[in-house]
Amino acid sequence: MIIRPAVRSLCTGAVVLAVGATAIAPCAALAPLPGYRPPGSTSGSGTEAPALPGEVSALSWVVADATTGDVLASKDAHRHLPPASTLKTLFALTVLPHLPARRVHTVTSADLNGLGAGSSRVGVVEGRAYRVDDLWRGVFLSSGGDAVHVLASMNGGWRKTRDEMRERAVQLGAQDTRVMSPDGYDTPGQYSSAFDLAVFGRTGLADPAFARYCSTSVAEFPGGVERSGRADAPYEIQNTNRLLAGTQDVSPYPGLIGVKNGYTTEAGNTLIAAAHRDGHTLIVTVMNPQEGTVYDNARSLLDWGFSAAGKVRPVGSLRPPVARTSTTSAAGPAQTPADAALMATHHSTTRKASVLGGFAAVGALLASLSASLWLLRRRRRR
């Protein structure tokens, strides 16, 4: 088998960027902060903050540190737009924990019902037995809507999977996402945002299985079934993420580690891309470029992000405001020391409040008893 892995708080509107090296700025404080200098100028430490690339034409985009969750810059980060197949990242976060990779399933006609006209396909056929991990490679490499339908059927059905995806988005603090079709197919009322897609990508990279699938450039996929019932030979599939695969005159991006691309008529081109360089892992989301390709836009933003690392003040965070619900095989990003300290403080405060509340309740009870005894004594005296 051929498998080649490759090495909430933002304002919408204008591009958001702050310079310096201090804590995350809340939305209300995104105006110039103390020590702020425009991009391209020199900060007090003598380091130069690079100017944002002018050739990025996407309607919405985000550049974030995948390790810390810090958002370094953005444009219309919470704008509601069709996500296309990048929504399959949320599908994977939702369904991966429930289906063992080596489980084998024979596809039925019911599994493929409802596959939209023009949907991308990896070549799943009725009557063929597939392993779950083969189907996931079909999802991540070929963006196979047919593979998504089969996995959703194995997960309990299309509607159940849709509802679970909505719940998962809430758990992750992704408030800009409304799932109508788990495969990302254009459906009225379905939308996501550059911010939420960055959350999905960052969360997925913390799961080894997700990271392995999304970084695979080339793999073999099981062939179909002959009339005699004999299985055809497997065939090669290649990742449609051109920054990863280096196809169709797009040079592979150095250090790219996935994540997922997409395209529909309504969404245009969309992309979640992550790369690692010089000790930094960045995640970039690009939605619907108006000029140039989605890969050119992502490349420019990744280049800027790596040059800006340590020179810009975060303008928000991908981390949810509460602890993320995790599972064995699809947990969120590992808890950072800051997250751990925050949760420890929360639990300590909760315990203290509980103890103080107990003391207060006992005190109130004693005061009530004391008042009752006093009234009883007065009545007796009369």
Radius of gyration of the chain (CA): 26
Sequence-ordered list of residues with C-beta below 8 angstroms from that of 189, at least 6 positions apart, any chain: 178, 180
Q: Which two tokens stand for residue 78?
A: 């919470």
Query: Would you say how long the chain is, in residues?
Result: 382
Active site residue 352: no
CA 350 to chain centre: 30
Active site residue 215: no
Q: Torsion over CA of 44, 276, 193 and 335, rounded to 10 degrees? A: -80
Q: Exactly one of 74, 119, 143, 300 is catalytic; which is it?
A: 143
Amino acid at 348: S
217 is catalytic: no
Structure tokens at 284: 């970039």
Q: 225-233: list long-range contacts, CB under 8 Å, 24+ apart.
A: 225/125, 225/127, 225/128, 231/128
For the chain, the maximum distance between any two Cα atoms, rounded to a whole number of angstroms, is 107
Catalytic residue, chosen from 60, 85, 215, 317, is 85
- Strands 256-264, 268-277: pairing is antiparallel
Estimate the crossing angle of helix 132-142 against helix 88-95, to 10 degrees: 160
> Which residues, other chains included, contact 6 with Cβ-Cβ below 8 Å and sequence gap of 6+?
215, 216, 217, 244, 252, 256, 257, 258
Give which of 276, 283, 303 is closest to 204, Cα–Cα.
Answer: 283
Side chain identity, residue 51 = A
Distance CA 14, CA 192 (A): 19
Q: Which of 60, 75, 88, 217 is catalytic?
A: 88
Task: Quickly tell me which residue has 């991009």 as its tokens.
Answer: 39
Show which residues are catalytic: 85, 88, 143
